[in-house]
Structure formats: C-alpha cells, structure tokens
C-alpha cells in the first residue's frame, strides 16, 4: 500500500513538475523569441533590414509610438484588419529589439471617448464607414524633446513601404537636426509643371521626389543669380542648371574643393525642361557644367543620347498596333546598377528618359566609378535626329539604334584629388582666398534629369483628401540615397528599394517584341507599296494627255489608272487584315501563356501536393508493414 501510494505521489509530482516546466518554457519563449519567424519571400519582405536595426540600435533616447486603430469599427473590413495586424506585429518587433528605447502604446479610439479626441487632435485621419462610424488607423511618434512625427493613415497602397515609413519616422525623432541641402535647379521642382501660378491654382504640385526630399532635409532653393552657397550647406544639389557666370561656377568649384559634397543632374535632352512639348523646330533642352566637369575629370557630350534596345520601355503609340519599343526611354534593372556602391547596391528598377553618357577624361586625377549604365545593345543617337523622329515617326527611333557592343555610363561617382577649374585665379570681382586643390572630393553626377518625372516612377492618388504616393520604380531611392550617402548617413538607403517589386513578364515582353518586329515589317511593306503605287499613278497621269473616255472621263482617270487604284485599295485591305492577324496572334500567344500559368496554379500544384501526400502515406504504410513482420 505504501509502495502504491509512493508511486501515486511520484506520478502526481511528475505531472505537476512537467506542467510547471511547460508553463515556464512558454513564458520564457514568449518573453525572448516572440519575434521569431521564418521569412520565405525572395526579397525578405517580413524581415527587418540591417538599416532598421542600425537605426534602432543607435537610439540615444526613448521614443514613444502611439498606434491608433479602431478595432470594432474596422471589424467588417478584412483587408484593413489584416493590414493593421501586420502594422501591429511590426511595431511590436521594433519595440522588442529596442531594449526599452521604443515605447509602444496601442490605443483603440472608440466613439465619444477621450481616445477619439486624442486621435483627432494628433492628426490621425478619421475614415468614415458605411455604418456611420469612423476608422482611425495611424501612428504618432514623439521623443523627449519636442519632436513629433505622424502617419495620418496607413494606406494599403504604401504597404510595401511600411518598414521604410516606420524607420524613417523613428530616424527623424532620433535625429532632430536635419541636414541642409542647397538646390540649384532650372526645373520647377518645388512647384511642378507650370510654376508657382499653376500650383497656387491647384493645377500643379511639387514633384514627388522633391516632396520626399523636403520632408527629410532642410532645403533652400538658390536663385538663378546666386552669388554664394549658403553657410551650413551639407550637400549642393544641381539639377539642369542654366548658363552660369564665371563667378557662379567659381563658387561651386570652391565649395567642392573645400569639402562640400555635390549631387549633379545634367541632360542632353531634358523632357521635363520642355514641359512635354514636341513642337517641330523646337531645340532640345540640354544642360552641362563644362568647366567644372573638365576640372573633375569627366566628359559629357550634350549632342548625344542613349538608345538601348534591351532596356527600351514599351509604349502604346497607336490605338490599333501593339506596344512599340521606345529605346530612349530606359527601364534599368539589376545588372545596370553597381553592386559595390551603397547608393545603387540595392536598386531594383529605375526609369529614365533621353539620358546621356559620361566617361572619364584621360587627364583626370579623380577616380571615376560607374554607378549606372546601359547594356551592350545600346548606341549613342544624335539628339536632334532622335527628337525629330520622335515627333514625326516614333517607331523609327528603334530602327535607328545600331548596337555598338559598348556599355554607356549614365551615372558616376567622382572621388579623390582634384584641382580648381580656375588655375589663373578667381574671376574678376570675386574676393576671398582661393583653394587651388583638394585631396579628396566626393561628387555624384547623373546624365539625366527626367529621373524626377513623376510619370516614370510613382502613382500619386488622393486618399481621403491626402495625396498618397505609391512607387513602382526606385527613382526616388537613387536621388535620396545619394543625398543620404553624401551626408554620411546610409541606414535608410536599402529600405526604399525593398518597397518596389519589379516583376516584369519577360516572356510576355518577348512575345510582344516578336509581334512588334512582324508588325514593323508589315508596316514597312505597306509604305513601300504605297510609295510605288503613288509613283505609278504619277507616271500614268503624266502620260494620259486628257484622252480619257467613258465612265472614267468624269474623273479624268484612264481605265489603267482606275485599275491601279483598285489594286492599291485591295492591297490596303489585305495588309490591314494581316496587321490585325499579327495583333490577334500576339493576344493569342499571351492568352495561351496565361491559361497555362492558370492551369499550373489551379490544377497542377494541387495535384502535385496530393501526389506527394499519397507517396508519403504509401511510404508510412510500407514501414509499418515491415515493423509488423519484424
């Protein structure tokens, strides 16, 4: 009896001990590895980047994040609920990794409560629902001084930018001092197309890249008659400069030689500067800094732009035909970016228009490092000729590209020793001691200004009265990443590029390109026949001598001429039918590809999973049978 009792006590104590161990283990796991997860996405979308970890680690004082979300009011909206869950999980991970430096407060602003009043006062957007209630879904961050940052509403359009938005908010709170950027620009970056008057009347808005830049930095636009660079400027950004005086060029020269950093955008054919105008006879708008480029050891030809058949964007030139390749609008990806420079290492896609090329001078003392370039299926086109073709017959631009096998450099970094562009001394009227050389300059130059064009990289939509930018390319990542690098801060560079998933349908593009070539051949055949027929008609008309009789006499045409016209009309009908068949074949090939992929996703994958499960079940049965026999 005693033995049995002892065994019972032992069993009970064992169960109690096991339960205690299990409970303690769960508490320990919950306290230490709540953020553990496996991220199987190809871009690591659900894993905090190293830049975010660096920002969190560098926090010198606590930051409080107040997350407002209306749980009850949003309960009927599954997408909003799911997105809110992801935001909440990410915020908790930030807090968990901060070791107490990030204080997270989750607030449910129910109707007619002080929490709802706080949400409204903090600037959180109230989104009305069908039931008449409002959904609050935003974030307020504050530091211990007077810093305050707000995300009024977490728009689904910016879900890909979630980590970037959160880390940027924390970065701004942890770094109250903003770097100062002086901007010299011949483009209306701060007002958008049409200038100040158009912006004031609501017909224009600042370019999206400038808006991001103005949020991140203290910016100062330099007047066209500037005589100095403002004191305290960390980086001078030059975008499509006009003609500079010797005194102005000298000011920039001295700024760089004295340790100032510069980010320069020039262009052989700035489409932004032209405002989209394509009038015949209008000269291409170009910009350059010849004297400074000579001193920095770089060459730039304002009469040539890059045409690249492999990087050409596809544009719809006509309502009837398929998309045409337009090789002066470049769609750069992967291999076109330097993987060794932090500014370009993580870029996925950048869209440019009418870009020029840069090359180092043989006499250069600086180090020339390529950051971005074309493929070997490119050539340099004459700007005036390419512009004329674009105005008259855009599809001929692609035909004029004869690949040279050379890769052309679009953006480059210049570092190392440099000398002044004014070796004979400062221009007349300029005072101050001259710096004649520097051991190390740091300048980034891009031969394109259309990188700022909104249509090339971002969709801006109105959401509850606020503009929301949803990027589909990394144009802003290059510009702001270059500025961050030049100011010495690179933690946010990699975060922007994680937001853009450029997944081009390469096979579909290949099908479109094949159809386009066939379409072009048919079109050329039509033009040749048209020219030939017109010539025949002219010959016939010159030899008829006014002797036409019969029904055709009223029109002044002979029977032979009428027959030629009828034949031409018949040819037109035939070739148009062939063109329609080409378009039909294009759609047919693309549709067949889509059907095949749908079959794989809907039928093939489930069948493979089921087959795999059957194989596993069969293997287990075989093992059990062996075990029984043994």
**Distance, CA of 67 to CA of 87 (rounded, Å):** 9
- Judgement on whether residues 311 and 297 belong to the same structural domain of the protein: yes
Q: What is the pTM of this model?
A: 0.68
Report residue 469 as tokens: 């930018």
Specify which of 4-8, 34-38, 299-303, 492-496 reaches the highest per-range mean pLDDT.
299-303
- Judgement on whether residues 201 and 136 belong to the same structural domain of the protein: no
Q: CATH code at 55? A: 3.40.30.10
- Tens-place pLDDT, residues 40-71: 555 555 678 888 888 898 888 899 999 999 99
Q: Which domain holds residue 575?
A: 509-629
Residue 279: Cβ-neighbour burial (10 angstroms; 0-12, 13-18, 19+): exposed
**Distance, CA of 232 to CA of 236 (rounded, Å):** 11
| pLDDT value of position 417 | 96
Q: Give 557's pLDDT tier (boundaries 50, 70, 90).
A: low
Q: What is the DSSP code (8-state) at residue 19?
A: H
- Tens-place pLDDT, residues 470-494: 889 999 999 999 998 998 766 666 6
Backbone phi, then psi, for 438, in 5-degree steps? -140, 145
Is residue 621 predicted with pLDDT exceeding 70?
yes
First to last CA, the chain: 40
The answer to whether residue 121 is domain-embedded is: yes
Q: What is the dihedral of CA 155, 159, 161, 163, to 10 degrees?
A: 110
**Distance, CA of 55 to CA of 52 (rounded, Å):** 5
The answer to whether residue 534 is domain-embedded is: yes
Could you give the number of structural domains in the chain? 3
Count CB-CB contacts under 10 A for residue 502: 15
Instruction: Among 158, 189, 221, identify where a domain stops.
Output: 158
- Judgement on whether residues 322 and 211 belong to the same structural domain of the protein: yes
Q: What is the DSSP code (8-state) at residue 601?
A: I
Instruction: Among 503, 521, 536, identify where a domain stops.
Output: 503
- Tens-place pLDDT, residues 583-614: 555 556 556 656 666 666 676 667 777 777 77
The answer to whether residue 4 is domain-embedded is: no
- Judgement on whether residues 406 and 477 belong to the same structural domain of the protein: yes
- Judgement on whether residues 540 and 625 belong to the same structural domain of the protein: yes
Instruction: Among 158, 192, 224, identify where a domain stops.
Output: 158
Beta strand pairing call for 134-142 and 126-128: antiparallel
Q: Which residues pair with 360 in a beta bridge?
A: 298
- Judgement on whether residues 487 and 611 belong to the same structural domain of the protein: no
- Tens-place pLDDT, residues 33-44: 554 555 555 555
The answer to whether residue 170 is domain-embedded is: no
At which residue do the structure tokens 């690591």 appear? 44
Q: Which residues pair with 128 in a beta bridge?
A: 134
- Judgement on whether residues 458 and 310 belong to the same structural domain of the protein: yes
| pLDDT value of position 320 | 59
- Judgement on whether residues 193 and 129 belong to the same structural domain of the protein: no
Instruction: Please state which of the ranges 38-47, 76-85, 192-201, 450-459 shows the lowest mean pLDDT.
Output: 38-47
The answer to whether residue 416 is domain-embedded is: yes
Please report which helix (H) or strand (E) contains residue 79, including its range: helix 78-97
Is residue 91 predicted with pLDDT exceeding 50?
yes
Q: Are 63 and 143 in contact (CB under 8 A)?
A: yes
Report residue 598 as tokens: 């749908």
The answer to whether residue 379 is domain-embedded is: yes
The answer to whether residue 163 is domain-embedded is: no
- Judgement on whether residues 453 and 531 belong to the same structural domain of the protein: no
- Judgement on whether residues 400 and 346 belong to the same structural domain of the protein: yes
The answer to whether residue 13 is domain-embedded is: no
Look at the chain and count its residues. 630
| pLDDT value of position 142 | 92
| pLDDT value of position 601 | 64
- Tens-place pLDDT, residues 110-132: 988 999 999 999 999 988 887 77
Of 271, 447, 454, 267, give the one whose Cα is nearest residue 373: 447
Q: Assign 166 to helix, strand or coil.
A: helix
Of 434, 432, 438, give the one whose Cα is nearest residue 423: 434
Q: Assign 191 to helix, strand or coil.
A: coil
**Distance, CA of 140 to CA of 154 (rounded, Å):** 12
**Distance, CA of 515 to CA of 507 (rounded, Å):** 12
- Judgement on whether residues 555 and 583 belong to the same structural domain of the protein: yes
- Judgement on whether residues 278 and 367 belong to the same structural domain of the protein: yes
């Amino acid at each position: 009896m005693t033995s049995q009792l002892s065994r019972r006590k032992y069993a009970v104590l064992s169960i109690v001990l096991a339960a205690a161990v299990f409970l303690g283990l769960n508490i320990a796991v919950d306290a230490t590895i709540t953020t553990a997860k496996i991220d199987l996405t190809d871009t690591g979308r659900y894993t905090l980047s190293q830049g975010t970890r660096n920002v969190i680690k560098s926090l010198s004082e606590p930051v409080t994040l107040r997350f407002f979300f209306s749980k009850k009011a949003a309960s009927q909206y599954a997408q909003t609920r799911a997105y809110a869950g992801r935001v909440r999980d990410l915020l908790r991970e930030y807090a968990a990794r901060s070791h107490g430096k990030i204080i997270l407060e989750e607030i449910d602003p129910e109707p007619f409560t002080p929490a709802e009043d706080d949400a409204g006062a903090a600037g959180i957007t109230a989104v009305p629902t069908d039931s008449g209630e409002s959904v609050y879904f935003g974030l307020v961050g504050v530091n211990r001084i007077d810093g305050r940052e707000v995300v009024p509403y977490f728009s689904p359009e910016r879900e890909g930018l979630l980590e970037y938005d959160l880390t940027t908010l924390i970065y701004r709170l942890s770094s109250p001092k903003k770097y100062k950027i002086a901007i010299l620009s011949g483009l209306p970056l701060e007002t958008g197309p049409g200038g100040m008057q158009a912006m004031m009347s609501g017909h224009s808005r600042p370019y999206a890249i400038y808006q991001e830049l103005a949020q991140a930095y203290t910016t100062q636009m330099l007047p066209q008659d500037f005589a100095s660079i403002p004191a305290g400027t960390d980086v001078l950004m030059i975008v499509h400069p006009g003609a500079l005086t010797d005194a102005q060029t000298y000011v920039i020269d001295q700024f760089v030689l004295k340790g100032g950093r510069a980010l320069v955008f020039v262009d052989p054919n700035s489409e932004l500067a032209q405002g989209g105008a394509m009038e015949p006879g209008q000269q291409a708008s170009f910009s350059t800094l010849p004297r400074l480029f000579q001193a920095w050891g770089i060459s730039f030809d304002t009469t040539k732009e890059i045409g690249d058949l492999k990087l050409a964007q596809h544009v719809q030139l006509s309502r009837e035909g398929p998309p045409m390749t337009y090789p002066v609008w470049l769609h750069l990806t992967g291999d076109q970016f330097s993987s060794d420079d932090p500014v370009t290492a993580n870029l996925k896609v950048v869209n440019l228009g009418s870009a020029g090329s840069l090359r180092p001078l043989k006499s250069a003392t600086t180090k020339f490092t390529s950051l971005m370039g074309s493929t070997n299926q490119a050539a340099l086109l004459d700007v005036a000729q390419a512009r004329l073709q674009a105005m008259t017959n855009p599809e001929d631009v692609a035909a004029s590209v004869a690949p040279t096998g050379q890769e052309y450099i679009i953006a480059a970094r210049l570092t190392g020793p440099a000398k002044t562009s004014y070796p004979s001394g400062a221009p007349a009227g300029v005072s101050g001691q001259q710096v004649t050389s520097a051991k190390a300059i740091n300048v980034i130059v891009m031969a394109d200004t259309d990188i700022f064009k909104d249509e090339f990289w971002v969709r801006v939509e109105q959401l509850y009265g606020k503009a929301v930018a949803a990027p589909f390319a990394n144009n802003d990542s290059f510009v702001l990443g270059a500025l961050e690098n030049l100011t010495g801060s690179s933690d946010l560079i990699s975060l922007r590029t994680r937001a853009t998933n450029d997944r081009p349908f390469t096979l579909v593009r290949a099908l479109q390109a094949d159809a386009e070539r066939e379409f072009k051949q048919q079109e050329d055949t039509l033009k040749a026949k048209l020219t030939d027929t017109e010539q025949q008609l002219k010959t016939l008309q010159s030899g008829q001598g006014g002797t036409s009789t019969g029904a055709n006499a009223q029109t002044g045409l002979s029977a032979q001429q009428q027959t030629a016209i009828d034949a031409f009309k018949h040819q037109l009908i035939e070739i148009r039918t062939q063109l329609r068949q080409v378009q039909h074949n294009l759609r047919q090939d693309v549709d067949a590809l889509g059907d095949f992929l749908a079959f794989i996703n809907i039928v093939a994958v489930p069948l493979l999973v089921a087959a795999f499960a059957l194989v596993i079940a069969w293997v287990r049965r075989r093992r059990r049978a062996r075990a029984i026999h043994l």
